[in-house]
Amino acid sequence: MTDVKRVVLAYSGGLDTSVILKWLRETYDCEVVTFTADLGQGEELEPARAKAELMGVKPEHIFIDDLREEFVRDYVFPMMRANAHYEGLYLLGTSIARPLIAKRQIEIARMVGADAVSHGATGKGNDQVRFELGYYALAPDIKVIAPWREWDLTSRTKLIEYAEAHQIPVPKDKRGESPFSTDANLLHTSSEGKVLEDPGAEVPDYVYSRTVNPEDAPDTPEVIEIGFEAGDGVSINGQPLSPANLLASLNDYGRRHGIGRLDLVENRFVGMKSRGMYETPGGTIYAAAHRAIEQLTLDRGAAHLKDELMPRYAELIYNGFWFSPEREMLQAAIDHSQAKVAGSVRLKLYKGGVHVIGRTSPNSLYSEKVVTFEDDAGAYDQRDAAGFIKLNALRLRLLGRRDI
C-alpha cells in the first residue's frame, strides 16, 4: 500500500465521490482535500461544499472553482480551431474537460502540499487515462489513486452498503440502478451505459437533457450570426460575448432547435467499443460556423493541411494527451493558421439542423473577379490552365506509355 498523506480528490458532491472520500481516508489514513470545478455542468456547487464539510473536510481544504471562462477560452476554442471531430463525428466534450480538471487538481496539490490525487473514473473508460496522463505530465512524481480500480465495491449494491455503513447519505434516486450515466459541462452532456448498451436500439427520449427533440422544435427557422476574430468566436448577432457566455448563448439556441444530438459507437483508448449519446448544442453550431469562416479566409494549403492533421489531433485529445509535446506541436501549426480567420457567419437553425447560409470577412480570399463566368478583365488567363494540366499530366502520361 502506497503511503499517502494528503490527497486532492476531484469531488462532485455526489454519492460516488462521497464514498471515495470516505474510502480514501479509511484505506490510506490520509487527509482528503476536495476540488469541485464549475465547468458549466449546470449544477449548484455550494451543496458540494456543504457535503464536504459534513464529511469532515477542513474548510480550507475545500476548493470550488469557476473554471468556465478558462475552459472555453483555453481548451474548447483552441480545439475548435482545429475543427476537431473524433472518428468524424464526436466533438470531444468530455475529453477536453479532463485536462483542465487535472491541471487545477495539480495546482491545488501544490498549494496544499498534497502528495496524491484521486478521481472517480472507472477502470473501463477513457477518463481515467485522461485524468492520469494529465496528472503525470504536470507532476511526474505525484501519487495517483483510482479507487474504482482498487476497491472491492464492484457493484452498486456494495457501494450503497458501504455508504450506509459509513453514514453517507444516499439520495433516494440513487438507490436503484441509474438507467444510464452522464457527464456534463458547458460544451456537452454525454450519456452511456445500461439502456444505451444496445447499439441497435434507439436512444430513449428521456435520455436527452440538453436539447428538445427536433420534432418539438419551433416550426420556424431562426437565423443567427456569429462573429469571429483570430479564429475564435467573439459575438452573436453583433453583441460581443466572452468565450463562456458565447458558448452558453449558443447552447440556448441549440437547445431550442434540437441541435447537436449524436448517437455514436466509438472506439475507446482502452480498447473496446462503446455506445454513447452526446448532446453538444452550442458546440455543433459553433463548429459549423468556424469551418464556414475558414472557407473564406484560409488559404487552400493551410486548410488542407489542417484537415489532414485533424484526425490525429482529435485522437490525441480523446486519448488524454492534451499535455503532450505532439498536441502542442499540432496546436502551434493550427494556431499559426488562424490570425486572419475573422468575419461573420450566418446560420439557419431549424429542427435539429444547422445550415450555413452566408459568410463575410474583411479578410476574404474569395475573389468574385477571378472566379466569375463573366469576362474577368484579365484577372485569370484561361490559357494558363493548359500548361497547368499538361505538367500535372506529364508523370501520368509517362506512366501510361509504360503500362498501357
DSSP state of 76: I
The neighbour count for residue 318, using CB atoms within 10 Å, is 23
Q: Is 11 annotated as a binding residue?
A: yes
Active site residue 375: no
Q: Does 162 bind a second copy (CB under 8 A)?
A: no
CA distance 345 to 350: 16
Q: To which H or E segment does residue 184 belong? A: strand 181-184
CA Rg, the chain, in Å? 25
> What's the longest Cα–Cα distance across the chain?
85
Near a second copy by CB under 8 A: residue from 43, 148, 245, 256 = 148
Which residue number, 59 or 378, has a Cβ lying nearer to a second copy? 378
CA distance 87 to 264: 10
- CA atoms within a 13 Å half-sphere pointing along the CA-CB vector of 109: 27
Instruction: Cell numbers for 250, please give them.
Output: 449558443
Active-site annotation holder among 181, 235, 324, 364: 181
Binding mask 324-343 for a second copy (x = CB under 8 A): xxx-xxx-xxxxxx--x---
Active-site annotation holder among 49, 68, 81, 98: 98
Chain positions 124 to 143 lying near a second copy, rule: CB under 8 A, are 124, 128-129, 132-133, 136-141
Q: Does 204 bind a second copy (CB under 8 A)?
A: no
Q: Is 18 annotated as a binding residue?
A: yes
Near a second copy by CB under 8 A: residue from 65, 74, 107, 315 = 315
Amino acid making up residue 154: T
Phi, psi of 186, deg, nearest 5: -60, -25
Near a second copy by CB under 8 A: residue from 46, 197, 222, 252 = 197
Which residue number, 61 or 98, has a Cβ lying nearer to a second copy? 98
- Strand pairing category for 6-10 and 116-118: parallel
Map residue 276 onto helix, strand or coil.
Answer: strand
Near a second copy by CB under 8 A: residue from 5, 58, 149, 175 = 149
Phi, psi of 232, deg, nearest 5: -120, 150
Q: Is 178 annotated as a binding residue?
A: no
Active site residue 252: no
In the complex, least distance from residue 162 CB atom to a second copy, rounded to whole angstroms: 16
Instruction: Cell numbers for 131, please give them.
Output: 485524468
Q: Which residues pair with 261 in a beta bridge?
A: 279
Which residue number, 27 or 122, has a Cβ lying nearer to a second copy? 122
CA distance 80 to 285: 11
Q: Does 356 bind a second copy (CB under 8 A)?
A: yes
In the complex, least distance from residue 390 CB atom to a second copy, rounded to whole angstroms: 4
Which residue number, 38 or 232, has a Cβ lying nearer to a second copy? 232
Q: Is 13 annotated as a binding residue?
A: yes
Which residue number, 73 or 348, has a Cβ lying nearer to a second copy? 348
Q: Is 65 annotated as a binding residue?
A: no
Annotated binding site: 10-18, 37, 90, 95, 120, 122, 126-127, 130, 181, 190, 266, 278
| Residue numbers belonging to the annotated binding site for L-aspartate | 122, 126-127
